[in-house]
């Protein structure tokens, strides 16, 4: 009997926490897993070899951006995303729903889909659930996402309900379109649970989305402005409502403390631009927290960023050298900081997996959180709002 092109198996449980394995057409992925974001078919400033060396098993590409440039038909003609970007491992694409959400005044949402103007040239486009599905099929990703409506934090309950119900209708249309596609067997389509920070809406959404037999389920609409306590509460609520035998994907989350806390709540998959985005601004991860490498106190540090880090940056360069590169605005600083941050996150995921397999996750979680100092909540919220505003402008 032929092996399935997509499958998921839980290999070990420790309470809510799981270690598992995804089988995809482009290889196996050990979970919990973090997917570096390759927005425009590249992890910014890194080669595929560097991303692989950092421990990346799978990357996320952005269907909205690739639809606008260079175009889905061109990527398909040239052999699909894997060949186009030289990435041999699995790829997940998002549908474009979050990008449409972040466009602000440039988009208009109705039951048929999302109409928007390109942030590149102002041209008018209209995404429907069917088109969003066909776009991702054409890109050739291993896992593709349903088209959904993400809604801003602080919206009224009625607005959140309307967006949630629209997401449910679109999920059914995406599932029907994908089931009829000749590429259905080679790609897995995941459904997305919405409902904002309203527990009753989240329960309703989880029930509606899991009635559709998707091979995996995502939690959307978090990390968009709510505080961490709310995010953790909703994450745990939804994972408890999702099938035990299918992967759970928390979209857009990548802070180290959030990864640990979300794995503790039963999440298997993550993606976020955070590790590489903050790296390009001089913020690097350490076991004690995030630090600003451009600060004067690092100018004479004749040691790597982290003594026990095995990334290319820490194995070959001092902290003082990285400080110098940022102060001199040399392009190499972007690569070296990104390599370190990516390796920090991917190593953290591997360490959590080993802790789960060894029945010592709670000990690992406690030790990590005791040592790690998260970014101040007010600063984090301000940075998030600034980023979302920039995306919408």
Catalytic residues: 94, 271
Q: What is the rounded distance in angstroms from the CA atom of residue 222 to the CA atom of residue 363? A: 27
**Total count of residues recorded for the chain:** 393
* Residue 212 near residue 172 (C-beta atoms within 8 A): yes
């Amino acid at each position: 009997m032929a092996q399935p092109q997509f499958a998921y198996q839980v290999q070990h449980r420790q309470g809510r926490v799981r270690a598992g394995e995804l089988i995809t057409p482009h290889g196996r992925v050990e979970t919990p897993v973090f997917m570096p974001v390759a927005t425009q078919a590249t992890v910014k400033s890194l080669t595929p070899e560097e991303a692989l060396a950092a421990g990346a098993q799978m990357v996320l590409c952005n269907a909205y951006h690739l639809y606008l440039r260079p175009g889905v038909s061109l990527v398909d003609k040239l052999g699909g995303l894997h060949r186009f970007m030289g990435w041999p491992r699995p790829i997940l694409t998002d549908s474009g729903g979050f990008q449409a959400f972040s466009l602000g005044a440039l988009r208009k949402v109705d039951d048929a889909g999302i109409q928007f103007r390109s942030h590149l040239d102002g041209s008018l486009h209209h995404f429907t659930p069917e088109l969003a599905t066909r776009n991702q099929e054409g890109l050739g990703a291993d896992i593709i996402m349903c088209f959904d409506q993400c809604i801003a934090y602080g919206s009224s309950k009625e607005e959140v309900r309307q967006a949630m119900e629209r997401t449910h209708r679109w999920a059914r249309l995406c599932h029907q379109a994908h089931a009829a596609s000749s590429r259905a067997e080679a790609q897995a389509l995941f459904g997305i649970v919405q409902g904002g920070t309203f527990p009753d809406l989240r329960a309703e959404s989880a029930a509606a989305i899991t009635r559709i037999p998707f091979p995996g389920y995502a939690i959307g609409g978090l990390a968009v402005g709510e505080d961490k306590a709310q995010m953790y509460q909703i994450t745990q609520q939804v994972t408890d409502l999702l099938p035990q035998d299918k992967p759970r994907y928390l979209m857009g989350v990548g802070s180290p403390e959030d990864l640990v806390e979300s794995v503790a709540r039963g999440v298997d998959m993550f993606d976020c631009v955070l590790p590489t985005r903050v790296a390009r601004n001089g913020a690097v991860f350490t076991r004690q927290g995030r630090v600003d490498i451009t600060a004067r106190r690092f100018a004479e540090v004749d040691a790597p960023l982290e003594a026990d880090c095995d990334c290319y940056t820490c194995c070959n360069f001092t902290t003082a050298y990285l400080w110098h590169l940022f102060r001199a605005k040399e392009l190499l600083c972007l690569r070296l900081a990104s390599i370190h941050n990516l390796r920090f996150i991917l190593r953290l995921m591997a360490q959590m997996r080993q802790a789960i397999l060894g029945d010592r996750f709670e000990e690992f979680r406690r030790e990590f959180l005791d040592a790690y100092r998260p970014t101040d909540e007010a600063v984090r919220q301000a940075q998030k709002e600034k980023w979302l505003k920039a995306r919408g402008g």
